Amino acid sequence: MTSLGLTQKIILLVSVPLIVEMLFLATISASLRQAGEALEQETRAVEALVCVNGILNDVMSRSAAVLLKRSLKDPSIYLDVESGYENLQKSTMKLRELARDTGPAAREIESFLAAIEEITDSAETFQLSEEESFGVDSVIVKERLESSLRKLDGIRKVVVEEQLRQREKALSRENELRGHLILAVEIAAIIDLLLAAGIALWFSLTTGRRLHILATNTASIALGKGLEKPLGGADELARFDGVLHDLSRALKIARQQERAMIDNTAEVICSLDESFKITESNRAVERRLGFRQEELRGANLLTFIHPDDRENTFEELEKCKGEADELSFSSRMRKADGKFIYADWVVQWSPADRSVFCVIHDVTERKEAEQLKQEVIAMVSHDLRTPLTSLAVGLEILAEGRHGELSDRGKRLVDNGMVSIKSLISLTNDLIDIERFEAGMINLDVELVDVDSLISEAIETVRSAAESRKIVIEKSVKGEIFAEMDDERIQRVLVNLIGNAIKFTPSGRRIDVIARILKNVSGEENLRIEIIDQGPGIPPDQVDLVFEKFRQVGTGSEGEKKGSGLGLAISKELVIAHDGKIGVTSDPGQGSTFWFEIPVRQQGKK
């Protein structure tokens, strides 16, 4: 039994009661069949008795009528009885049919029917005798009729007694069968109860106990607890238990790896309950904040938040409970030494765990670097640009000879100084502008601009630099184009891009500036301007770096001129401010094409 599989046990569990029930039904069916036979026998006996009594009544009525007719000489008396003769014939035929199925009483019934026929014949003979011929023969017939009646009465008693005996026998058999049937039902009920109890006990001791172990193991897996010992055997339950143990081991390894990953990550990770008390944290809290994990467990997170940021942090944590996606915010958090760090938070609510999961990223160094950068920009803006401007003014005064004529060598030195100072002032302005632009501090003065005139002005600005290197700048404007833009900002983009092309184009070559209108998939018009040079091109692995700050890309040849690396970055910010895009295509050795596109209509920027 213990080696049976779960399927075999279920089949056995179903088949045994089914077989017992089938045997019980067979027994009941046999008993009911026998009871039916007894009832049928009793019914035949009752019907035979009814027929016998009916026949006797008809015969006695007919015989009495014959005698009364002779005595009273009234023919109408016999005529009344003649109407019942047909019933006598039917009853006789029915009794004869019953005689064939009555078994032991058939002989007595046949004798009874023979006597009936004899009496009927005698009555007919006696009735047919003429009244005037009433004599010795009639007396003999009468005596024979009376003798037959007496004989019939004796046979009737025997038939009735036999039918009553058969009826009593049938009733007794029926009662006996009824008792057997009741006993069979009681025995079957007892057997069913004992069988059900036995099967239930057997199932409980074998399969039930094993199922309980499986249920316990399943719950233990969900709770992360250890499992019961593996089930023995090779049935389905044992195989399923083996799968559970394999799953438990895999989950244990996964949890260990997950815990190791969480503990070894540089970010602080913690979980909060609904009241924002810390329920769990990783080891990074010791490295980042100086607290032990046990110190934080059960403490309210808001007590570690800077007082000025506490209200906003509470609102963000409350908000995340109603959000399906994660939320991000920033606040300052207190360390164990009392100092505060700047932290970026990513929080998400888990409805299943009723917990808030937090990832805290220490951005103190970044904040300090940004603050230092702002201080440097402020210093460059005020402490460096102002003296440079004053120095440039002083050199211009010297160059004009207001304090006396300079020698040729003095003029060259002043001119070189002015070039260097202007370069420094331009670099300072670029530094200030790029920081302002990246911070979103770009205010556009949008107006309708003639693109042909815009490009011409930009070319004039850099013409001296191009002519000094014998570079020709060709302009091509496809039709009459007007577009909405900040004239000064876009001209600065053009000057930067054309100046960049001049810087990398060999002497004696050409630069093309092309402007045209393009339509996007929505049917909206965009202005596209391309600056095509004949320089050395840009290596494919550096194309994506062209518009980054302080990046110098190129082939690395000695003839390439270097700059601050801010011009293209500034151009990118100015184009983006116009809801446009900027890019470059280049083939090494074939030159580069810098392009930008801006909408012809600047929505909401006028």
The string of DSSP letters for 237-287 reads: HHHHHHHHHHHHHHHHHHHHHHHHHHHHSSSEEEEE-TT-BEEEE-THHHH
> Radius of gyration over alpha carbons of the chain, in Å?
62
Residue 267: the pLDDT is 84
Judge whether residue 151 has pLDDT over 90. no
Cα(555)–Cα(533) distance, integer angstroms: 15
Q: Where are the beta strands (DSSP E) in 77-225?
A: none
Residue 83: the pLDDT is 54
Give the 3-state secondary structure of residue 483.
strand
Name the residue with higher pLDDT: 78 or 212: 212
Residue 484: the pLDDT is 94
The amino acid present at 329, given as its one-letter code, is F
Residue 109: the pLDDT is 63
Residue 476 is inside which H or E element, if any? strand 472-477
Q: Are 120 and 62 in contact (CB under 8 A)?
A: yes
Three-state secondary structure string covering 396-439 = HHHHHCCCCCCCHHHHHHHHHHHHHHHHHHHHHHHHHHHHHHHC
Cα(419)–Cα(286) distance, integer angstroms: 56
Q: Which long-range contacts (CB under 8 A, 24 or more apart) does 94-100 make?
A: 94/47, 94/51, 95/48, 95/51, 95/52, 95/55, 98/44, 98/47, 98/48, 98/51, 99/48
Note the pLDDT tens digit of each residue in 48-82.
666 766 666 666 666 666 655 555 555 555 555 55
Rounded to the nearest 10°, the torsion over CA 61, 66, 68, 71 is -170
At 305, is the pLDDT very low, low, confident or very high (cuts 50, 70, 90)? very high
Name the residue with higher pLDDT: 239 or 108: 239
Specify the DSSP class assigned to residue 206.
I
Other C-beta atoms closer than 10 Å to the C-beta of 260 total: 11
Average pLDDT value for residue range 213-232 = 74
Q: In what order do the strands lie in the sheet with 278-281?
A: 278-281, 268-272, 355-362, 340-350, 327-334
Q: Are 547 and 489 in contact (CB under 8 A)?
A: no
* pTM, entire model: 0.46
What the block records as the tokens of 223 is 């709770």
| 106-128 vs 136-203: helix crossing angle, rounded to 10 | 150
Name the residue with higher pLDDT: 539 or 215: 539
Note the pLDDT tens digit of each residue in 123-144.
555 555 544 444 445 556 556 6
Cα(73)–Cα(117) distance, integer angstroms: 25
Cα(567)–Cα(576) distance, integer angstroms: 14
Average pLDDT value for residue range 442-466 = 91
Judge whether residue 472 has pLDDT over 70. yes
Give the 3-state secondary structure of residue 217.
helix
| Mean confidence (pLDDT) of the chain | 77
